[in-house]
Chain A
Amino acid sequence: MITLQSSDKDVFEIEQSILIQSGTIKNMVEDDFTFIPLPSVDTETLIKIIEYMKKHADKTDSKEKNIKEFDKDFMKKTLNELFALVFAANYLHISSLLELLYPSIADRIKDKITEAIRQIFSIRCDFTPEEERRIIMDNKWAHEGTEIEGTLD
């Protein structure tokens, strides 16, 4: 049993066999660590990560359908939750979860207009009006006949 500690100092005891899906944890375990602090992962996110790993630990054929359903539902979270999961999964090296998260996030942002994306990511526009115009001109041809305006979600 391995103990994980979130940034909020909550501890979780999980079987080693489940946690080795995380490359980071796997290496620490190989170095005989049993207590692993994760100061960059908060409790809420850690709970979700553990839930994911538990579901994916047992990969027999008959469970494949269940796992797919689970994955689909698992992605039904707010964008901010997904971002937190990406940070955590990236740090913990859980590639299967990342492979699930990337297309989900891409899908969520693909139809959004620029301003909406800036709001989601809290990005300040750093283009001068001239630069902005140039970008639109560069891509002008490509936008012909293609609907790019999305809705603000």
Chain B
Amino acid sequence: MKGRLSHPSTPIPNDFVRKTGKKRGGYNCGRCGLPKKGHVCDFTKDSINEVPTPTSGDAKSFVSPSMSSVIRPQPPPPPPPRQAVPQLRRALSFDDIGVTDESPGSDDDDDEREELLDLESELDISGSGKLPANCLWEVLKRLPPSSLLSSAKVCKGWRDVSRRIWRSAEELRLGVPVNAQIGLVGSVLKKCPGLVKLSLRMKSDVDATMLACIAFSCPNLDSLEILTSDTSVNRITGDELGRFVAEKRCLTNLKMEGCSNLGGFTLSSTSLSALCLSDLFCHSKMVFNCPNLKEISLEFSRQENDNTDLTAMVDGLGKSCPRLQNIHVASVRLTHAVVLALTAANLRGLRMLSLVLGSEITDASVAAISSSYSWLELLDLSGSSITDSGIGMICNVFPETLSNLLLALCPNITSSGIQFAAAQLPNLELMDCGMSICNPDLDSPASQKNDNVELQRTPSSKLHLIYQKLIIKHSRLKKLSLWGCSSLDSLYLNCPELNDLNLNSCINLNPERLLLQCPNLESVHASGCEDTLVETLKNQVSDDFTAEDYFPCKRLPDGSKRIRVPLLYSPQPFDDAKRKRRISKQRSAVLVY
């Protein structure tokens, strides 16, 4: 007949089937997709003898299928365009809000495709001709899980598509409501046995039965998150967690909040690579036998009377987790002794170190850190007592590698220290000096009204701390945070790469002493600032400028972090209807519940 094309009713090259949503052996012309009845096809052989190649539009989310055989009896064409074949892996989110997220398909079985083709003919019969089959898949795939479950009730075809979407799910985010029982989670997990990443936001209490359910239902799980909320208590004990971790041989990422009931625990796992535990409190022993652990984040509750022996823990950490690259510990009981234990551990791969909230961390600790770990890329000593000389030490040791320096809430550093850091660290990309240049006594809301009176009473030796100026000229700096620096009076920034500037609550920043020469500035946060300052900011920045309300928030321990502190200033809405809003480069909706 005509080249590769035979009679329209026999199977047709893969690509064309998908393009037109043709059903196998169906009623539509194979060449142009119109119903065959009474139809004369205009297409000639020449117009469709070439297989279209995938367009580059969504290249990032597609992986070429690694097919080794072709379903069709025809001479095998090259693999069909990826975008015409449904992404058979997806993420589901089950939540009141119903955020969905997709994870890219990693491989594509012939089987799946064949199932899908069967599906097409089914759907044709059930009359959902309003959408081609693969498009129906794509649409249903993007439904929030509760809707996906409802869609199964529509008709048999939809039930099958829904079932297949569940089965192919790799990532699931579940919000477990307040009075939920274990059966809820169990029945959902049963639908997606291929699950690789699971995130549970618990509004009801969670205990070891949940772990057992997860262990049973998700054999391939490699990433687990259990997040708590105000209404839920995490009752999992250390033994139970230890058992779970030891038995789940492919678990690489574990994150758990509300860990106050863990007590003493030992976590042994050769697969675990990232661990994040928060709300820790009073742990008689914390042993981490995880030789492949690369990232650890331990946040201790700020309750008093925490009797955890941090030194012993860090000591053990150093011995049993030699591959650590990224350490984050947040505890008010961090001391110099803990730092010494850490430096004694000689963790050769350590690149990111964050020891926050430890007011007993001093310049001596900095000396110890810089002598043992001279290749740090990120150093976060927020909340510590280091002074400008500590900063000097940092600049001596880390100029080549340090790209992130976070010194928020360090009351003993001054703007000269910050300037020095900016000048001496050429690779610096992020600097956070929030609430470090401020004098809390002077800035309490009550005293603001009595400004003049207070100033008169302040001894002149302290005056220099009130009106601090900052001049930063840096070729690589991308993010600078000066939130809460209420003693900052003047600011001059010449940073061609600066994207993000946080001036929240810089209440004393004088608009006449503000000069920004940062052509790439994308967002400036200025909540709580004077209107005149805001105006000046607007004028100084380029056309693409937007500013928005922003609150200091915690981020994950893999890069930039800021301490979450109780807000001292109530937010002043930064609303200007005329100003265009642009979403600054935040993490995607993935992390927002």
Partner of A87, one of B21, B143, B184: B21
Minimum distance in angstroms from A8 CB to a CB of chain B: 13
**Interface on chain B toward A: helix, strand, loop, or mixed SS?**
loop
Chain B residue contacts of A110, Cβ below 8 A: 98, 143-144, 147
Minimum distance in angstroms from B145 CB to a CB of chain A: 8
Chain A residue contacts of B140, Cβ below 8 A: 106
Partner of A90, one of B19, B96, B141: B19
Chain B residue contacts of A138, Cβ below 8 A: 187
Expressed in whole angstroms, the Cα–Cα distance for A30 and B49 within the complex equals: 12
* Per-residue contact bits, chain B 128-153, to A (CB 8 Å; 1 contact, 0 not): 11111011001111111111011111
* Per-residue contact bits, chain A 61-105, to B (CB 8 Å; 1 contact, 0 not): 000010000000000000010010011001101111011001101
Q: In the complex the two chains form, is B147's CB within 8 Å of A146's CB?
A: no
Minimum distance in angstroms from B340 CB to a CB of chain A: 50
Partner of A95, one of B58, B158, B180: B58
Q: In the complex where A27-B50, A123-B154, A143-B149 touch, is A87 in contact with B132 (Cβ < 8 A)?
A: yes
Minimum distance in angstroms from B35 CB to a CB of chain A: 10
Q: Does B81 make an interface contact (CB < 8 A)? A: yes
Q: Does B441 make an interface contact (CB < 8 A)? A: no
Expressed in whole angstroms, the Cα–Cα distance for A23 and B1 within the complex equals: 27
**Interface on chain A toward B: helix, strand, loop, or mixed SS?**
helix
Q: In the complex the two chains form, is A40's CB within 8 Å of B130's CB?
A: no
Q: Does A15 make an interface contact (CB < 8 A)? A: no
Expressed in whole angstroms, the Cα–Cα distance for A37 and B47 within the complex equals: 10
Q: Does B445 make an interface contact (CB < 8 A)? A: no
Partner of A24, one of B52, B94, B96, B180: B52
Minimum distance in angstroms from A34 CB to a CB of chain B: 12
Q: In the complex the two chains form, is A123's CB within 8 Å of B128's CB?
A: yes
Q: In the complex the two chains form, is A146's CB within 8 Å of B33's CB?
A: no
Minimum distance in angstroms from B71 CB to a CB of chain A: 20
Q: In the complex where A125-B154, A141-B184 touch, is A40 in contact with B135 (Cβ < 8 A)?
A: no
Q: Does B156 make an interface contact (CB < 8 A)? A: yes
Task: Mark out the residues of chain A between 30 and 48 whose CB falls within 8 Å of any chain B CB in the assembled complex.
Answer: 30-31, 33, 37, 39-40
Q: In the complex the two chains form, is B146's CB within 8 Å of A148's CB?
A: yes
Partner of A118, one of B81, B155, B183, B580: B155
- A-binding residues in B (CB < 8 A): 18-21, 32-34, 42-43, 46-47, 50, 52-55, 57-58, 81, 83-84, 94, 96, 98, 126-132, 134-135, 138-147, 149-156, 158-159, 177-181, 183-184, 186-188, 580, 582
A-B contacts, 24 of them at CB < 8 A, read: A39-B42, A40-B20, A86-B135, A87-B21, A90-B20, A93-B52, A103-B142, A106-B142, A106-B147, A109-B147, A109-B151, A110-B143, A121-B127, A123-B128, A126-B126, A135-B152, A136-B153, A141-B186, A142-B94, A142-B149, A143-B149, A144-B184, A145-B178, A148-B150
- B-binding residues in A (CB < 8 A): 7, 21, 23-24, 26-28, 30-31, 33, 37, 39-40, 65, 80, 83, 86-87, 90-91, 93-96, 98-99, 102-103, 105-106, 109-111, 113-114, 117-118, 120-127, 132, 135-136, 138-148
